[in-house]
Amino acid sequence: MNLSVARCHFPVRGLGYGARTGIWLQGCSIRCAGCIVPETWESRDEHLVSLAALLRATQPWIEASDGVTISGGEPFDQPEGLFALLTAVRALGAGDVLVYSGYPWPMLQREHRAVLELCDVVVSEPYRAPAHAVTPLTGSANQRVHLLTPVARERYTGWQAFSPAASVAVDGADIRLAGVMSRGDVVKLAGSIEAASGRRTRLTHGAL
């Protein structure tokens, strides 16, 4: 079993409860106008990683995490791989599993029920630029947060009051920002980091 993977980070804050392992899958067929991570749309051979290798790389992080966040790209464009990944993540005892999707909730319920049964939280719906409205977990006003399990309701009830947070990671010559942030905040933060470090900044996940 191979998955198309963009990158992984630990710890990630601001894309769920606590300190998380973030796994970004590569490839998205939805292609929202205004998407700030268009580099995740195309999936090529160089992005393919075996599930075993992905788990070897992330298992220590997952075991030390409060939860796992899976984003993209569009995770549900790889439904078999996503199912296998979530099954393995569950077996490692991830505290909670949050998955972002740009697909509408009724479609996910109709076509991916088995995958949803492995999720605690799903953030659904495509990014709509005119409805721009950043919250701690969403980036446009149409997006929906679904709390599917008791642990989700325990940890995420009142998620609108979570403190906004972003994680910064060095990735080769780039510095990556991960989090849901307003465009203004990203511009300010990226400018400060670039001025201080001389490195280019790129956004790993955000809904701007």
Binding site for ligand SF4 (CB under 6 A): 28, 30-32, 35, 37, 40, 72-74, 102, 126-127
Residue 193 burial class via C-beta count within 10 angstroms: exposed 0-12, middle 13-18, buried 19 and up: middle
Rank residues 30 and 168 by Cβ distance to ligand SF4 and give the closer one.
30
**Tokens representing residue 6 in the block:** 């963009």
**Tokens representing residue 193 in the block:** 């980091």
Which residues in 70-99 are b (16+ Cβ under 10 Å) and which e? bbbbbbbbbeebbbbbbebbeebebbbbbb
Rank residues 155 and 205 by Cβ distance to ligand SF4 and give the closer one.
205
Q: Are strands 167-171 and 174-178 parallel, antiparallel or unpaired?
A: antiparallel
Residue nearest to ligand SF4 (CB): 102
Which residues fall within 8 angstroms of residue 97, CB to CB, at 6 or more apart? Answer: 67, 68, 70, 86, 89, 90, 118, 119, 120, 121
Cross-strand partners of 170 = 175
Q: CA 181 to CA 106: how far, in whole Å?
A: 27
Rank residues 74 and 120 by Cβ distance to ligand SF4 and give the closer one.
74
Rank residues 38 and 191 by Cβ distance to ligand SF4 and give the closer one.
38
Q: How far is the CB of 28 from ligand SF4 (least distance, A)?
A: 3
Q: How far is the CB of 101 from ligand SF4 (least distance, A)?
A: 7
Cα angle: 9, vertex 85, 55; to 5 degrees: 55
Q: How far is the CB of 60 from ligand SF4 (least distance, A)?
A: 27
Rank residues 90 and 128 by Cβ distance to ligand SF4 and give the closer one.
128
Q: How far is the CB of 107 from ligand SF4 (least distance, A)?
A: 13
Q: How far is the CB of 177 from ligand SF4 (least distance, A)?
A: 16
